[in-house]
Structure formats: structure tokens, C-alpha cells
Structure 1
């Protein structure tokens, strides 16, 4: 119930449900009474900034049949502009009954972020990692081992190789399978280019909303991986999947200019 994308919201789904509490209740009630698995809910703070905020429903969600709720600290109207409102997430965590686990979500991009939120609000069950995992999937290793990993370009390329291997295994290694894998890889590269290597940072850790200037990496591959040009993402895909077909073009589906601009509304 948190998706902000127009094509979903315009059908009354995703975060549009935040404007219809009784429909939310009915969905959770029916789902929880139909399946044996625990039902969890994902929400934003509200649909419109400052209106019908989700904290007013937190106390009721457990009685609906939900086992946990993940609160993304932004409204639908806000999209990804500004940082997530963690004080509001903490407020939701403290209001929730003990039978309902509350998971905080928004801008977790390092083990420092993770630790700070867990310490600030012990009532939270845990923190969700979202875009941070798209940009640097090794964030879970950093959290587990409580360290900033200055990962090399070669190690990052190995992660991409694994991704391609799994893609070809799933979709097949024929032309269609290769190009499907390539499309998914390119969508992912439109996020991974935002990562700045720890060894190049003046201030550690990197924040998810920073707009770093163009920079040269410590080797050619690291420089290539930092490019925000779709042509360079295609070059990386060709290193792993061979040449693209004649006339091939690519534009990322999320159409974001990358960091903190509101895309809608």
C-alpha cells in the first residue's frame, strides 16, 4: 500500500489505498483470514503531505489481522524528495500495540544509519533496506560485519557477473534470454552508478541523497561504473553479454534524475 507510481495509483491501488482506511482494513482482514502465513503491510506516511497520516491507523492494524507494518517515512505526494521522516516513523513505532511489529524504511544506506535508527527507537522491530540495496547490494554485509567496505571495481564486476549468470539461467541463453537479462541489468546499473567508493569519500558514510560530482575512479572500470550515461551502462552490459543488437536504445523505467527530486505531484 505504498507504491507511488501513477499507473498503479490511478487504478486505486498502491498508496491510493491510504485515502481509504476501510478498504485497507477489508483487504487485510480478508487476506489474513484466508491464508495461514502472516500478513504484513507496507505504507507511506500519508497520500497527501500532512493529511490522513498513517499514525492514526497504527493502533488498529493489529486488530485487522496484520502481523507487521513497514512505514516508509515519506508521503506519496513527496515521492523521493527530501529525506525520510524518521521521527515520524519512531512515533508510529511507539504508538503501535506490542502485537504489531513496526519496520522503519527510508534512506538506510550504511550500517551507521541502521544502528542509529535501531538505537533511537527500540520499539522498531527492524529497519528495511530498499534503494540502498539497489545501489550497493553489499550493504547487508556491511550491516552484518559493522564496517564500511571499500569494495573494488573487480569485486563489483563479479557481482554483476553473478547477476547475469542468474538471468541467463532463468530466461535462457538464446537471443531473447540475453536481451531480457540485459534490460534488467541496465535498469540495475542506472542505480549502481550512484555509489561512490569509500576510498574516494571525504566524509564517510555516503548519504543516499548526495549528488556527487563526476569523478575519476582508481582504475578505468571504477570510472566507467560511476558514469550516469546510459551509453556507458550499455558498454558494461556488452562486457558481460556481448554486443547489443543494431538500433538498440535504453532509458531507465524509473526516469529519475537520480537522487532527491519529486517525480510527481
Structure 2
């Protein structure tokens, strides 16, 4: 119930469900009453900025049958224009019944962020690492180390999918999807300000070697070379 993509919310699904709490209730109650596994819910702080906020529903969600809830600290309307609202997440964690674990999400790029949030709010069950950690990490990794990670990825992919034509194509597809994120990584050693923020645009920089330059390319033709 956290997806903000228009094709999803226009059908009444994803984060727009926050505007329809009775439908949310029906979904969670039916799912928890049918499945033999614990049901978890993922939401944003709200759909519109300042309206239909999750902190007004958090005590009820626990009674609907959910075992845990992950809260992304942004509204659907906001997208990534501002930093995550962790005050709202903390408030939900403190208000939630003991039967409902609350997991915080938003702008968690490293173990430092994770530890800080857990220290600030012990009531949090845990924190989710943001996908942005792939490109906003605080680890200054060399081009050679990055290449070794790609080699490991390919090795594990072929081991799992097989080394026949279909296995190679499957591994290549997932590798290219991963590279579409990792090519945006800015080497930490070249940054003036650390840590980075999710909504900061990366600065222009000169790579430290040719391999690092190649890995910064957003062209799939360069990745396949």
C-alpha cells in the first residue's frame, strides 16, 4: 500500500488506499484471516501532504490482524522532493500496539543511519535500507572492487540460472538492471560533503581511472563491452 506510481494509484491501489481506510481494513483482515503466515503492510506517511496520515490509523491497523508495518517517511504526493519524515515514523512506533511491529523506511543509507534511528526510537522494530544505498553509500569503493562485485554477481547468477543460453540471458538481464542503478554511484572519495542526501543531485567529477569512468556511463553498450 505504498506504491506511488500513477498507473497503480489510478486504479485505486498502492498508496491511494490510505485515503480509503475501510478498504485497507478489509484487505488486511481478509489476508490475515486466510494466510497461514504473518501479514505485513507497507505504507507511506499519507497520500496527500498533511492528509490521511498513517499516524491516525496505526492503532487500528494492529487490530486488523497485521503483524508488522513498514512506514516510508514520505507522502505519495511528495515523492522524493524532501527528506523522509522520521518524526512521524517515531510517533507511529510509540503509538502502535505491542502486537504490531513498526519498521522505519526512508534515507537509510548505512549502518550509521540505522543505529541513529534505533537509538532515537527504541520502539522501532527495525529500519529498512533504502535502494539509494546502492548509489549514496558512505563506502569509498574502488573500481577494481566494484568489478569484483559484478563478477561475483554473474557467477552466482549463472550458478542459480544455469550456464545455457536461457541462464546467460536471465543473468545478463538482472545484471543490466543492477548496473542501471550502480552506474549512478559517486565515489565517496571525490565528494566534498558527506553523507549525501537522497534528493541531492550528483556533482560532476573526474574519475580516478578508466574503469571508474566506464562504470559511470549510463549507456548499456558500455556495460556489455
* Same structural fold, with TM-score higher than 0.5 when normalized by the shorter chain: yes
SS at match of 1:43: strand
> 2:29 maps to what in 1?
29
1:144-201 superposed Cα distances (whole Å, 9 cap, x missing partner): xxxx532221221222223333444427642x55445434333322221232223222
Match for residue 150 of structure 2 among 160, 169, 175:
160
**RMSD after superposition:** 2.1
Q: State the alpha-carbon separation in 2 of the partners of residues 72 and 212 from structure 1.
A: 23
Shift, 1:47, TM fit: 1.0
Unmatched 5+ stretches in structure 2: none
> 1:170 maps to what in 2?
161
> 1:135 maps to what in 2?
135
1:34-87 superposed Cα distances (whole Å, 9 cap, x missing partner): 122111100001111111111111001111111110000111111122111111
Q: State the alpha-carbon separation in 1 of the partners of residues 198 and 221 from structure 2.
A: 24
Q: Conserved in 2, the CA contact under 8 Å of 1:186 and 1:234?
A: no
Pairing 1:211–2:201 present: yes
1:100-120 superposed Cα distances (whole Å, 9 cap, x missing partner): 111110011122222221121
Shift, 1:29, TM fit: 0.9
Alignment map for 1:189-204 (pairs within 5 Å)? 189-204=179-194
Q: 1:134 to 1:200 in 2, by over 3 A?
A: closer
> 1:68 maps to what in 2?
68
Q: State the alpha-carbon separation in 1 of the partners of residues 39 and 121 from structure 2.
A: 23
Match for residue 187 of structure 1 among 158, 177, 191:
177
SS at match of 1:90: helix
Q: Conserved in 1, the CA contact under 8 Å of 2:44 and 2:71?
A: yes
> 1:38 maps to what in 2?
38
> 1:86 maps to what in 2?
86
Q: State the alpha-carbon separation in 1 of the partners of residues 185 and 26 from structure 2.
A: 41
Q: Conserved in 2, the CA contact under 8 Å of 1:135 and 1:191?
A: yes
Q: 1:10 to 1:173 in 2, by over 3 A?
A: farther
Q: How many residues align?
A: 224
SS at match of 2:62: helix
TM-score (norm 1): 0.76
Q: 1:172 to 1:133 in 2, by over 3 A?
A: farther
TM-score (norm 2): 0.89
SS at match of 2:57: helix
